[in-house]
Copies of this chain bind each other. A is one copy, B any other.
């Protein structure tokens, strides 16, 4: 994915913690003339794991983009058993949107895309319903319908996966997509599928969380964006936010207030992902802000 005229390079790293890690990485960058724009690191002292995000200006960097990864691995990565991921600030990630019948997250994402807030492409909006086709059409975005029922789920998912592969999709956003993805599907996109769940997880997983929140009489409701894993609503959390409610709020008030949370929390998660600011590890996320 590397190109030759990127403005900056971004390296996400994790490895067993030991002395000299930061120095080794920054020495490598400095040695070839890279000017560090951003560096953040985190050490999980309990598990003894080191996490780092470093971004540097490529203007005077002496290694060409296509060789940076290999050079880094030989000089630094292998020595410290690093898992690393290199990207460039002008790479445009290709995002697929999965939706069902509720439009608020879709509208929010498309309007950000259209206003140029995010550096992404949207090659596909995928749904099990035709309902939101009219939204996609307004913005001339391709809309694919895969109606799913009990009998055809496996087969429809296979078609979805084929489409995603054909379109060279980098990551998937479930914008209130009401279907549960199969483990197989999920396994193809580890930490690449972002979901929004309309509760403050781990409270109220599963269906109808606003109804449950109302019944429990909570004074605050929330929304949670997370990477999808095989266990439902249990993947690594990327972002959460909350809003105050009271006895005076009916279930429909919770739904109304929750919609605003959902769209903002989902969009923040997408933004972190697109900016390569997330490292998921052991079902938790490190978010470099």
Digit string of A214-238 for contact with B (CB within 8 Å is 1, else 0)? 0011111010000000000000111
Complex Cα–Cα for A237 and B245 (A) = 12
Known: A244-B244, A246-B289. A30 touches B20 (CB 8 A): yes
Known: A23-B30, A248-B289. A39 touches B36 (CB 8 A): no
Q: Which of A80-88, A120-128, A180-188, A197-205 contacts B (4 or more CB under 8 A)?
A: A197-205
Tell whether, in the assembled complex, residue A39 and residue B38 are in contact, meaning their CB atoms are under 8 Å apart: no
Name the B residues within 8 Å of A104 (CB-CB): 111-112, 115, 117
Complex Cα–Cα for A267 and B264 (A) = 13
Known: A200-B200, A204-B202. A218 touches B247 (CB 8 A): no
Question: Which chain A residues in 153-208 approach chain B with CB under 8 Å?
Answer: 200-204
Q: How many of A's residues come within 8 Å of B, CB to CB?
A: 68
Tell whether, in the assembled complex, residue A19 and residue B36 are in contact, meaning their CB atoms are under 8 Å apart: yes
Q: Which of A41-49, A62-70, A92-100, A143-151 contacts B (4 or more CB under 8 A)?
A: A41-49
Tell whether, in the assembled complex, residue B240 and residue A218 are in contact, meaning their CB atoms are under 8 Å apart: yes
Name the B residues within 8 Å of A5 (CB-CB): none
**A284 on the interface (CB 8 Å rule)?**
yes
Name the B residues within 8 Å of A75 (CB-CB): none
Contacting residue for A260 out of B201, B248, B264, CB 8 A: B264
Which of A23, A33, A201 has most chain B Cβ within 10 Å? Answer: A23
Name the B residues within 8 Å of A108 (CB-CB): 108, 111
Name the B residues within 8 Å of A27 (CB-CB): 23, 27
Contacting residue for A285 out of B39, B44, B247, B287, CB 8 A: B247
Question: Which chain A residues in 104-152 approach chain B with CB under 8 Å?
Answer: 104, 107-108, 111-112, 114-115, 117, 138-139
* Sample of 9 further A-B pairs with CB below 8 A, known A23-B23, A103-B115, A201-B218: A22-B39, A36-B43, A40-B40, A200-B200, A201-B203, A216-B237, A216-B284, A220-B240, A247-B286
